[in-house]
Amino acid sequence: MHRVKVLASLLALVLLSAGAAFGQADFTTYVAFGDSLTAGYSSSALSRTFQVNSYPALIYRQATGKTTGFEQPLISAPGISGLDACNRPESPIAPCGILRLVSLGVAPTIVPTPGRGGPVNLNLPRAYNNIAVPGANVHDVLVTKFGGFHDVVLRNDPRQAAAFTQLQEGLSLRPTFATLWIGNNDALAAATSGRVIEGVTLTPLDQFEADYRAIANAIAASGAKMAIANIPNVTSIPFVTTLSRFIPNPQTGQPAIINGQTVPLLGPNGPLQAGDFVLLTASSLLAQGFGIPAALGGNGQALPDAVVLSAAEAATIRDRVNNYNAVIRAVANEKGAAFVDANTVLQNLATGGINVGGVTFTGAFLTGGVFSYDGVHPTAFGYAYIANLFIDAINDKFGNDIPPVNLFPFVFGTASAASSVSASIAADSLVPFVFSDGARRSLLLSLGVPKWIVDGGTQPAAPRSRRSRGGRH
């Protein structure tokens, strides 16, 4: 009897130490596949400040109770932005770091932090558990080995013949559980560049489905259970929705009232119409008078197409995202994966807001507390909130009992220090801001916008042997 009691006690200790082992989802070896949202990218940079609280890292800590064992390609402060030059170790010290708001005074400017960070754990003798690559689209997960942030995350050595993709490196760890949140960059570049180009900034649906199914099939074949998230409506993020289509009052940033009415800005096809969007990257042009008639104090020149998303373009993107999400939900059902409806939840968060500890978080740029200074990626609080969405879905699907992330430290504690402006600041207390050219270029490149679009050039001819791509890596 004594031996039975001892064995029972030991078994209880094992089960308690396993934490979330009371379910089918086994986090012994957890691998996270995806793009910048999974990597913990924030304010247009990959930085340890945010990476330590990426949603996969938070899930792992909650599921296992461990603070070690889940490895990420950590980058020291001030991080590395999306500029190609900043991703190379030989890069000169330049404004390559995380975006920062210079001040909240007159004409505050958002600029990259001077300097560049470097890898913290580059000598890890295996693939990282968080294998997500900022800027990657679905096709990249299957085929891309070098370029952009792939050179930061993947362990490939250009001097060696063998090289691996994100999918191959992740599966080399033989995961027992995996999360898959990919597809944002298959539509995001179309929204952030103001250019809907099939096969360039917007991935064809048939290619998306074929590639997505190939990824999910490979993960399922490894024996790992999965949690899969769909993608948000990229036309509803602050990068797209913050600026008004009307001429702004330079003192308040709100639409100016002229002769008793608002006056639309001048776009590439004349005055902007209902449903048209002015992108965040237009802020510096507006400060120079673009989009404003000379008679009203502007320079009389229209805003270029690169900073305007027309109603028709926005509708095309929304329709495509809905189609992508139908594929993602179908695949999740077929593979028996936990499903996270990030699209609906983040849309509700952006429009209605949530209250945490007496603080209301919304989707407002600079003041909402959910989106960082780039208007696309979450703050530390936003990533913690996303982690809980995954945890809820995993618990429901696999019968685990993973405790949710405590959001309190991300609102009031040290974890909130890297977040954007406090959510308690009233939106109407801010004067207009300027998104600097350096910030604009860094962000667009990191979002998969082709370099020739960012630099205002013409589309280069693709090599005949290369398959049409749905975005950049």
pLDDT on residue 96: 85
Tell me if 344 is assigned to some domain. yes
Our count of domains for the chain comes to 1
- Interatomic CA distance for residues 404 and 315, integer angstroms: 36
Q: What average pLDDT does the structure give for the chain?
A: 86
pLDDT on residue 91: 56
pLDDT on residue 15: 41
| Separation in Å, CA 290 to CA 108, 142, 258, 387, 458 | 19, 42, 18, 41, 22
Dump pLDDT digits (tens) for 387-409.
999 999 999 999 999 999 999 89
- 62-72 mean pLDDT: 96
Dump pLDDT digits (tens) for 247-306.
988 777 788 888 889 999 999 999 999 999 999 999 889 989 999 999 988 999 999 999
pLDDT on residue 343: 94
- Interatomic CA distance for residues 138 and 142, integer angstroms: 7
Instruction: Provide, rounded to the nearest whole percent, the portion of the chain with pLDDT above 90.
Output: 61
Closest CA to 187 of 128, 235, 242: 235
Is the per-residue pLDDT at 424 higher than 60? no
- Interatomic CA distance for residues 238 and 233, integer angstroms: 11
Tell me if 60 is assigned to some domain. yes
Dump pLDDT digits (tens) for 163-176.
899 999 999 999 99
pLDDT on residue 466: 36
Tell me if 267 is assigned to some domain. no
Confidence band for 89, pLDDT divided at 50, 70 and 90: low
Is the per-residue pLDDT at 107 higher than 70? no
pLDDT on residue 426: 37
| Separation in Å, CA 419 to CA 43, 218, 283 | 9, 36, 22
Domain hosting residue 366, numbered range = 23-239+313-426
Tell me if 440 is assigned to some domain. no
| Separation in Å, CA 404 to CA 163, 283, 355, 391 | 37, 38, 16, 7
- 70-94 mean pLDDT: 81
Q: Are 78 and 117 in contact (CB under 8 A)?
A: yes
pLDDT on residue 105: 57
Q: Which residues of 95-115 are buried (b: 16+ CB within 10 A; e: fewer)?
A: bbbbbbbeeeeeebbbbbbee
Dump pLDDT digits (tens) for 199-237.
999 999 999 999 999 999 999 999 999 999 999 999 999
Q: Which helix (H) or strand (E) holds 445?
A: helix 437-446
pLDDT on residue 465: 40
pLDDT on residue 441: 84
Tell me if 433 is assigned to some domain. no
- 69-93 mean pLDDT: 82
Single-letter amino acid code for the residue at 468: S
SS3 159: coil
- Interatomic CA distance for residues 312 and 124, integer angstroms: 48
Locus of tokens 């809905």: 322
Tell me if 207 is assigned to some domain. yes
Is the per-residue pLDDT at 10 higher than 60? no
pLDDT on residue 85: 72
Confidence band for 86, pLDDT divided at 50, 70 and 90: confident
Dump pLDDT digits (tens) for 361-391.
888 888 888 999 999 999 999 999 999 999 9
- 57-75 mean pLDDT: 97
- Interatomic CA distance for residues 202 and 469, integer angstroms: 9
Tell me if 104 is assigned to some domain. yes
pLDDT on residue 462: 59
- Interatomic CA distance for residues 289 and 352, integer angstroms: 33
Runs of H (alpha helix) within 19-103: 36-39, 48-51, 55-64
pLDDT on residue 158: 66
Model-wide pTM > 0.85: yes
User: 46: which 2 tokens?
Assistant: 């990959």
| Separation in Å, CA 423 to CA 167, 243, 414, 432 | 37, 19, 15, 17
Q: Which residues of 399-433 are buried (b: 16+ CB within 10 A; e: fewer)?
A: ebebeebebeebbeeebbebbbbebebeeeebebb
The domain that holds 417 is classified in CATH as 3.40.50.1110
User: 361: which 2 tokens?
Assistant: 């978080």
Tell me if 291 is assigned to some domain. no
Is the per-residue pLDDT at 90 higher than 80? no
